[in-house]
Structure 1
């Protein structure tokens, strides 16, 4: 059967959802691995990553079952939810790509204030830095400095974590925005396949029935 027919649409939609399932399982596995090896101690970060992975896995399962059984209701909810996710992810990806250095600094400051003390200390230890930004040209005057566990504290020659992260923020945001933009287009592809497949007639069914 030529591509674009019932079988081709079904196989393409099933393959796409299998990929989404693998990505969801990968997110859950990476979060569990990071928690198990002590790389990230914040339960909120771990919980957030696991929640995203579980949500993606759940949507993929709904889409896969709907595609296998040509289930009209499941396919409808699948394409609606996937389209909403596409809009959100497309907007976030474009924002990441368009963000300038001033906006990056504001975002980093807001994220730093939301982090738990244990997560801040993990970052300081891994990046070998103290505090977010230098205050009065001295990182030692940062309010987070007394609790800083970084090795550089012994030599009294610590850089600010904010400065180190901002040095790579532009590149990281470009990568994050590019990856998010790529996946957003796979999501709109999934919506298009679901709409197309949902409106096709199963050749194995009763010719007078439209499922």
Structure 2
């Protein structure tokens, strides 16, 4: 379900023009397809009573659980200063086209400081194409993103924690039923 949800959200974001970066869309879809493949391995292993497939499923699910737990706890623990630092590093690595597109979509100019005396920030504000630039007050993109990022990180962290513990349930069930004999098999067979 999580894999299908990731693929659906990526398609929805691309369809509505919320996210235009092909790399981000491709990454989210790849993670969704990976999760679907792992789920299919678990289902085939469970239906066919294949112990090796169930063992591989358990190991991969434990690794996914650990990664998801770490990322979820990080999302919940990140404060506004850390978010600003992360946002600043990301903004400096974005290409000019992506920045301009983001400024247009969010109706904001620059990242956090439009009064900075450094030449690169003055030029950045000068090339802004957002509608708010012509108005009396144009909010910075950093402030707009930071206002919503705290709430979004808490939601993502909570959802991630919920699904990480459902993965532990999947590992427990696979472990419990991995050594069960196939009821359709020959009862005199060794396994």
Could you tell me the TM-score, scaled by structure 2's length? 0.87
Give distance in 1, aligned partners of 2:122 and 2:173: 53
1:156 is displaced (CA, Å) by 5.1
1:30 is displaced (CA, Å) by 3.0
1:24 is displaced (CA, Å) by 1.7
The two structures, once aligned, show a CA RMSD in angstroms of 2.2
1:63 and 1:74 in contact (8 A); partners too: yes
1:130 is displaced (CA, Å) by 1.0
Give distance in 1, aligned partners of 2:46 and 2:92: 44
- The residue aligned with 1:98 is 77
1:181 is displaced (CA, Å) by 0.5
Aligned: 1:45 with 2:24 = yes
Give unmatched runs, 5+ long, in structure 2.
Answer: none
- The residue aligned with 1:165 is 145
- The residue aligned with 1:73 is 52
For residue 144 of structure 1, give the secondary structure of its aligned residue in structure 2: helix
Give distance in 1, aligned partners of 2:157 and 2:98: 24
- The residue aligned with 1:154 is 134
1:98 is displaced (CA, Å) by 1.1
- The residue aligned with 1:196 is 176
Give unmatched runs, 5+ long, in structure 1.
Answer: 1-18
Kindly tell me the number of residue pairs found equivalent between the two proteins.
189
For residue 174 of structure 2, give the secondary structure of its aligned residue in structure 1: helix
For residue 87 of structure 1, give the secondary structure of its aligned residue in structure 2: helix
CA separation of 1:210/1:155 partners in 2, compared to 1, >3 Å: closer, same or farther? farther
